[in-house]
Amino acid sequence: MRIVVAGATTSTRLTLDALLCHQADVVGVLQLRPESSRTVTGFEPLETVAGRVGIPCVTFRNINDAPVVEQVRQWQPDLMFVVGLSQLVHRELISLPKLGCIGFHPTFLPAGRGRAPLAWLVLDNGPGAASFFLIDEGADSGSIFEQEPFEVTPEDDAGTIGDKLNAAMIRALDRWLPRLLKGEWNPRPQNELLATWNGRRGPEDGLIDWNQSALQIHALIRAATAPHPGAYTWVGDRRLIVWRAELETRLPWRGVAGRVLMVDRERGALLQTGDGLLWLTEVQFADEATPGLTSSALKVGQKLGFVVQDELAALRARVADLEQRLTERGL
């Protein structure tokens, strides 16, 4: 069985490693170009693995580009794995492998199809699974070959979910690949009645709204933390990235949403939210190189974020002042 592997992330590399471990005949590797990977979480080049065993590795910007399609045609694969790539594979490329293209998604399909799966898993508290499926012209909608569930807890963040996913992926591949390479082919259709879809999330979706509850903000911080860009707020004109936080349920404090109530050398800064208290334990100003304890960045009484009406009023005042000066100068 001649196999091609395509992708851009750690999950792609794990798939390639597992195929080689099970002595599959991998005839080519397609790798997203590094300059096209700025928005790819967990990007990992494949040239090292491919080169070590003498497999040709071709880079691409878009997997559906004509030169990529032609290269796959020349490799004459029976099967192609497209793993760790957010680009949809078009019909022409899907039709080239004799058996088909196999995709991967980290949710318990048919639940959670679509974009930003790790972040949504944290926000929804699961369910997670390493799911391998037959790629069709939909998004994560093809028949499923293998699924390995993993638990998502309220303590998990994007980083720990990634670790659990990788472990589940390895278990799934080690169980399934020997059967696949012997010719087993029995994908089962997904139940469309149970299908749900998740939309795109970008760095700007990490903005903290201090009027939300402590539970909601805590979930956002966990979902947006590394390897994602991080949840963030504003301290004056400086952007503050919040990497980690802890819920506070015992202290009898209350205050204005977004204001720092207490600073502790060990725990960080205590913030009032729209409902409940939250310790910010690890933060980083965007213009600084490394994160640190919140206690060194924030002070009691500071208000985080912007009050929109106050900012608009200040902006209108500045515009009015500028207009007055222009009028006085006859402009």
Q: What is the pLDDT of residues 217-253, one digit of tens each?
A: 999 999 999 999 999 999 988 999 999 999 999 999 9
Q: Are 238 and 283 in contact (CB under 8 A)?
A: no
Q: What is the DSSP letter of 67?
A: H
When pLDDT is averaged across residues 94-113 and rounded to a whole number, the result is 96
Q: What is the pLDDT of residue 37?
A: 74
User: Average per-residue pLDDT in the chain?
Assistant: 93
- pLDDT per residue over 14-73, tens digit each? 999 999 999 999 999 999 998 877 777 788 889 999 999 999 999 999 999 999 999 999
Q: What is the pLDDT of residue 293?
A: 58
In terms of residues, how long is the chain? 331
- pLDDT per residue over 120-141, tens digit each? 999 998 889 999 999 998 889 9
When pLDDT is averaged across residues 299-319 and rounded to a whole number, the result is 89
Tokens matching residue 193: 């009645």
Q: Among all chains, which residue has been given the structure tokens 């903005």?
A: 207
pLDDT greater at residue 315 or residue 25? 25
- Amino acid 291 reads P
Q: What is the pLDDT of residue 19?
A: 98
Claim: this prediction has a pTM higher than 0.85: yes
When pLDDT is averaged across residues 6-10 and rounded to a whole number, the result is 94
CA gap 138, 125 in Å, rounded: 25
Please report, for the chain, the start and end positions of each structural domain, with discontinuous segments joined by +: 2-198, 203-310
What class is the 203-310 domain? alpha beta
DSSP string, 81-103: EEES--SPPPHHHHTSSSSEEEE
- pLDDT per residue over 154-175, tens digit each? 999 999 999 999 999 999 999 9
Angle between helices 158-181 and 10-21 (to 10 degrees): 30
Q: Are 113 and 191 in contact (CB under 8 A)?
A: no
CA gap 331, 329 in Å, rounded: 6
- Name the superfamily (CATH) of residues 2-198: Formyl transferase, N-terminal domain (3.40.50.170)
Q: Is the per-residue pLDDT at 272 higher than 70?
A: yes
Q: What is the pLDDT of residue 307?
A: 80
Q: What is the pLDDT of residue 107?
A: 96
Q: What is the pLDDT of residue 311?
A: 83
